[in-house]
Amino acid sequence: MSTEQTERSDQDGNDETVTTTAIYVYGIVPSDVEPEDHAEGVGNPPAQISVVRSGGIAALVSEIPTDRALGTPDDLKAHAALLDGTVAVAPVLPLRFGAVLTDRDAVAEELLEGHEDELASALEQLEGLAQFVVKGRYDERSILQEILEENSDAAQLREQIRGQSEDATREARMALGEIINATIEAKRNEDTRRTVEALSSLDPMVNERQPTHEQDAVHIAILVELERQDELERILRELGQEWEGRVDISLIGPMAAYDFVAKSEPGEEG
């Protein structure tokens, strides 16, 4: 048992074992994966990463104190950084942030041994693949001008409220806001379709994400072959040139396949 333990006496004078650490699980990898010496986990100072193996699969883990609350921004970054760094060298099944088991034996027996075939198959399907997130943000001035040029009602409302007080033009402002929001939603749908079409040569799996900002033009996660990252970047550069001054495109990744893996918590039936 890898958890630290202390001894204390109960009221009858018997020794009682108290567990003071548990095992935090980051993700599942092939059993031949070895953590880099500089790999760091959650905690302050960062925990050392180790591996629990069972058959052909393994879990990336670290010890954490049981009395330490998880969930700081640094914890979230450490969790993602470890998984995203791993995907560059091996397939990885990310577990949800905060996955904790009692000890290393529990990781082997409850998580790995009970789901070995399922996890090994999932890892095989992810071999050579990585997730990327494509985000596009409309230039506020450009998209507003585009809407006014295309929609005469919006243009008339804009003229109606120009130079007038907010109170005097409240209804007109609300009407204009509704037109703008609806038009941006329609444009977002079309520009997302255009982006997915541009990326079709990569044969990606695609997950459309919800917008995180009212000016979002595109927000998708894609799962593609890692060796085609240069091609992905080239396609997005060309799309960015097509939309220059209208949409600012960014690419995040490579990262673990968070959007394409649905793994239960340790100890739950998957």
- Give the tens place of pLDDT for each residue, 194-229: 999 999 999 999 999 999 999 999 999 999 999 999
Q: Is residue 5 part of a domain?
A: no
Q: Do the Cβ atoms of 20 and 4 come closer than 8 Å? A: yes
pTM recorded for the entire structure: 0.83
SS3 sequence of 76-97? HHHHHHHHHHHCCCCCCEECCC
Q: How many domains does the chain have?
A: 2
The pLDDT, as a whole number, for residue 262 is 61
Same domain membership, residue 253 and residue 169:
yes
- CA atoms of 261 and 79, how far apart (whole Å): 16
Query: What integer best gives the mean pLDDT of the chain?
Result: 88
Q: 162 and 91 in one domain? A: no
Render pLDDT for 103-149 as a digit per residue (tens, 0 to 9): 999 999 999 998 999 999 999 999 999 999 999 999 999 999 999 99
Last residue of a domain, one of 127, 144, 179: 127
**Residue 264 included in any domain:** no
Q: Judge whether residue 163 has pLDDT over 90.
A: no
Residue 242 clears pLDDT 90, i.e. is over it = yes
pLDDT of 40-69, one tens digit each? Answer: 999 888 999 999 999 999 999 999 998 877
Model pLDDT, residue 19: 52
Where is pLDDT greater, at 173 or 6?
A: 173
Q: Which amino acid is at 253?
A: G
Residues 115 and 134 in one domain: no
CA 43 from centre of chain: 20
* Range 74-82 contact pairs with CB under 8 angstroms and sequence separation of 24 or more: 74/42, 74/44, 75/42, 75/43, 78/40, 78/41, 78/42, 78/43, 78/46, 79/26, 79/41, 79/42, 80/255, 80/256, 81/40, 82/26, 82/27, 82/39, 82/40, 82/41, 82/49
CA-based nearest residue to 85, from 60, 64, 107, 63:
60
Q: Lowest-pLDDT range, 145-159, 188-202, 228-242? A: 145-159
User: Where residue 167 sits, what CATH number does that domain have?
Assistant: 3.30.70
What pLDDT is stored for residue 49 in this prediction? 95
Do 116 and 134 lie in one domain? The reply is no
| Percent of the chain residues topping a pLDDT of 90 | 72
Full residue range of the structural domain in which residue 106 is found = 10-127
Q: What is the DSSP letter of 245?
A: T
Cα(227)–Cα(108) distance, rounded to whole angstroms?
A: 32
109 CB neighbour count, 10 Å cutoff? 13
Tell whether 215 and 171 lie within a shared domain.
yes
Same domain, yes or no: 39 and 121: yes
Does one domain contain both 90 and 138? no
Calpha distance 56→58 (Å, rounded): 7
Beta strands in the chain (DSSP E): 5-9, 15-19, 21-30, 50-54, 57-65, 93-94, 100-101, 129-138, 205-208, 216-225, 247-255
Q: Is 51 a member of any domain?
A: yes
The residue to which tokens 């670290």 are assigned: 62
What pLDDT digit, counting tens, does each position of 249-262 carry? 999 999 999 999 86
In a domain, 151, yes or no: yes
